[in-house]
Structure 1
Amino acid sequence: MATAAAAARRLFRPSFPSSVSNTSRLLSSTASPSPHRSPNTNSPVAFDWSDDDADNHTTPLPPSTAKISELPPPYDPFSKKPTLADPSDPTNLQEIFHRMRTEGLTDYAIKMFDGLSKDGLTHEALALFAVIKDKGAMPDVVAHTAVLEAYVNAGPAHWRDAVRTYDRMLASGVKPNAYTLAVLVRGLSASDRCSEAGRYLVEMLDRGMRPNVATYIAAFEAYVRAEKVEEGKVLLETMKGKGFVADEEAVRSGTVKRGHLFRGVMNLLFGN
C-alpha cells in the first residue's frame, strides 16, 4: 500500500491542461435535446437522458475558469477523511455536473483510486493513473463513472439514468472497472431494484471481478427488503456457479447485527 501511495503522489505532481477540456467534451456529448430543469436553478440539467436519442446534439460549453494547475493533496491511504466530499445536495444534478465540467475530475479519480486500492486492486488503481500520467488526459472510465454515481446518489427516481449512463459507456467502447460496477450495484440496491442489482453482480463475476462485501451485502439486503428471498437464492446459486463464496465473518462485521434484515441476509447467504 505504501508503494501505491508513493506512486500516486508522483502521478499527481504534474498538471494536465487538457484534462478539464477533455472531460467537458466527454460529458457534454451525453447531453439530451430536452433536458429537465433543476428546481434550484433556471439552467437545464445537461446530463439527463432523454427517451429519444435520435436527435442528440452537443451544446458548446463556455470557457472554463477553473485553475487547472492546482491539484489536490496527494492520496493518503492512512487518512480517515473522505477522498471526495459529498455534495451538499446530491439531488442538485445541475450543480454537480457544472462542477465536473469546470473543475475537472481529478478529485473523483482519487476517489476511484482509493476504492480500487482498498479492495486490493492496486494494479488496476495504478493503471488508472498511468493513463493520466502518460497521456495527460483523464480516463473516460472516470468521467462515465462520475456521472453514473451522481445519478445513483440523486435517489431512486434516477436509477434508469444510471443504467443508461452505463449502457452508453459500454456503447462508447469504455471498459468499466470494479469500482464502476460496485457503484452501480449499490445504487440500484439502495433504490430497491434488486433484480437489476443482481444482474450487474453477475456481470462483475463474468468480467473476472470480485464484488466486495459491501457491494454484495447491499444487493442481498435489497432482496430481503423486497421479500424476494427465493429470487435472491437463485442469484446466489448463479454466483456460486461462477466461483463466488460469501465471507460469513465479513458479512457479520459489515451489517447491523439485529433485526429482520440482518437475519434475512444471514439466512439467505448461509442458511442460518
Structure 2
Amino acid sequence: MATAAVRRLLRPTSSTALSRARRLLSSTASSPPNRSPNTNSPVSFDWSDDDESPPAPPPASPAKNPTLPPPYDPFSKKHAVADPPDSTNLQEVFHRMRTGGLTDYAIKMFDGLSKDGLTHEALALFSIIKDKGAMPDVVAHTAVLEAYANAGPGHWGDAVRTYKRMLSSGVAPNAYTMAVLVKGLAASDRCAEAGKYLLEMLDRGMRPNVETCLATFEAHVRMNKVEEGKALLEMMKKKGFVLDEEGVRSGTVKRGHVFRAVMNMLFGK
C-alpha cells in the first residue's frame, strides 16, 4: 500500500502531476530559515563549543524565487538531484542551502529511503513537509552532515561532530542519514569509524544496503586492514545481519584487486 501511495503521488505520468509534487515540497521547504521553531536550517548550527570549528556558512538572505531543479522522477536511474559543481567548496555548498532552501536535500532523502524499500519512512517525511508545512529536522542536519562528508578526507571529523550534534539536539537519524555518514567515513579511509557507525545502524534496527556495506569493506582493503574487516563482519553476523553474495556481486563493477580481496574477506572466495 505504501509503495502504491508513493507511485500515485510521484509517478511521472504527466508534467502536471510532477509539477504538483514539486510544488508541494518547494512551497513548504524553501521558506526562509527558522520560520518555525520546529524547523532547523544550516544557519542554526553553532560550532563555538567545538575544539576545531569548521568554516561557517557565509551570511546570505534567502532567495525570493529560487530556481527549482527539473521535476523529480523516482523511477529514473539518474541522481534525484544534481550535486554542486565543486563539493569541496563548502562556502558554495552552504550558500546554496541558505539561498535555495533544503528542498533538494529532502528529495534526495525521500529517493534514498524509497529505493531501500523504506516507503513508510519516505511517506512520513513527505507528509511532514506537505501537511505540517515544516522541513523535518532530520533533513537539515543530514544536509550539513552530507556537505562535510562530500568535502573530502579533511572534513571527516566535521561530519562526525555534526552527527553527534544532531543526536544531542534530540533528532533521530534515519537510514539515509546513517548511510551518508558511513560512506563518507569510508571514502575518507576512516575504517574504524565507518565500521562503528555501520554497527550502530544495526543497533538502531536499520539494515545497511549493499552500497553502504561495500564502501566500508572496500576501505578496509584499501588500508590493508583485512583482519579488522573480518572482525567487523563477524560482529555484524552476531547482530543477525548477513550479506547477500549475489547482491554484493551486482553492487560493484570492480573486478580488480579490491574486488577479489573484498569477496575473499566476505565470503572466503
Q: Are positions 1:264 and 2:266 aligned together?
A: no
Between the aligned partners of 1:52 and 1:260, the Cα distance in structure 2 is 37
**Conserved in 2, the CA contact under 8 Å of 1:131 and 1:137?**
yes
Q: Select which of 161, 164, 173 maps to 1:164.
A: 161
Q: Which residue of 2 aligns with 1:51?
A: 51
Between the aligned partners of 1:261 and 1:59, the Cα distance in structure 2 is 37
Q: Which residue of 2 aligns with 1:173?
A: 170
Give the total of aligned pairs.
252
The one-letter code sitting in structure 2 at the alignment partner of 1:16 is T
**Conserved in 2, the CA contact under 8 Å of 1:19 and 1:138?**
no
Q: Which residue of 2 aligns with 1:66?
A: 64
Q: Which residue of 1 aligns with 2:150?
A: 153
The one-letter code sitting in structure 2 at the alignment partner of 1:51 is D
**Conserved in 1, the CA contact under 8 Å of 2:195 and 2:216?**
yes
Quote how far apart the aligned CAs of 1:62 are: 4.7
The one-letter code sitting in structure 2 at the alignment partner of 1:201 is L
**Conserved in 2, the CA contact under 8 Å of 1:90 and 1:150?**
yes
For residue 91 of structure 1, give the secondary structure of its aligned residue in structure 2. coil
CA RMSD of the aligned region, Å?
A: 2.5
Between the aligned partners of 1:253 and 1:121, the Cα distance in structure 2 is 21
Q: Which residue of 2 aligns with 1:242?
A: 239
Gaps of 5+ in 1: 34-48
Q: Per-residue displacement from partner, 1:58-83 (whole Å, max 9, x unpaired)?
A: 99955323326x76555322223321
Quote how far apart the aligned CAs of 1:90 are: 0.9
Relative distance call for 1:248 and 1:60 in structure 2 (3 A) is: closer
**Conserved in 2, the CA contact under 8 Å of 1:178 and 1:204?**
yes
| Residue correspondence of structure 1 range 3-152 to structure 2 within 5 A | 3-8=5-10, 12-14=22-24, 15-16=27-28, 19-22=31-34, 26-33=41-48, 50-51=50-51, 61-67=59-65, 74-152=71-149
Gaps of 5+ in 2: 11-17
Between the aligned partners of 1:140 and 1:109, the Cα distance in structure 2 is 10
The one-letter code sitting in structure 1 at the alignment partner of 2:41 is L
Q: Per-residue displacement from partner, 1:116-149 (whole Å, max 9, x unpaired)?
A: 1011111111111111122211111111111111
Instruction: Determine what percentage of the aligned residue pairs are the same residue.
Output: 69
For residue 33 of structure 2, give the secondary structure of its aligned residue in structure 1. helix
**Conserved in 1, the CA contact under 8 Å of 2:201 and 2:207?**
yes
For residue 170 of structure 2, give the secondary structure of its aligned residue in structure 1. coil
Q: Which residue of 2 aligns with 1:186?
A: 183
Quote how far apart the aligned CAs of 1:258 are: 2.1
Relative distance call for 1:246 and 1:137 in structure 2 (3 A) is: same
Relative distance call for 1:115 and 1:232 in structure 2 (3 A) is: same
Relative distance call for 1:98 and 1:253 in structure 2 (3 A) is: same
Between the aligned partners of 1:266 and 1:17, the Cα distance in structure 2 is 43
Q: Which residue of 2 aligns with 1:38?
A: none
Quote how far apart the aligned CAs of 1:25 are: 5.8
Relative distance call for 1:52 and 1:88 in structure 2 (3 A) is: closer
For residue 192 of structure 2, give the secondary structure of its aligned residue in structure 1. helix
Relative distance call for 1:62 and 1:97 in structure 2 (3 A) is: closer
TM-score, reference length from structure 1: 0.84
The one-letter code sitting in structure 1 at the alignment partner of 2:6 is A
Between the aligned partners of 2:57 and 2:132, the Cα distance in structure 1 is 26
Between the aligned partners of 1:156 and 1:227, the Cα distance in structure 2 is 18
Between the aligned partners of 1:262 and 1:60, the Cα distance in structure 2 is 42
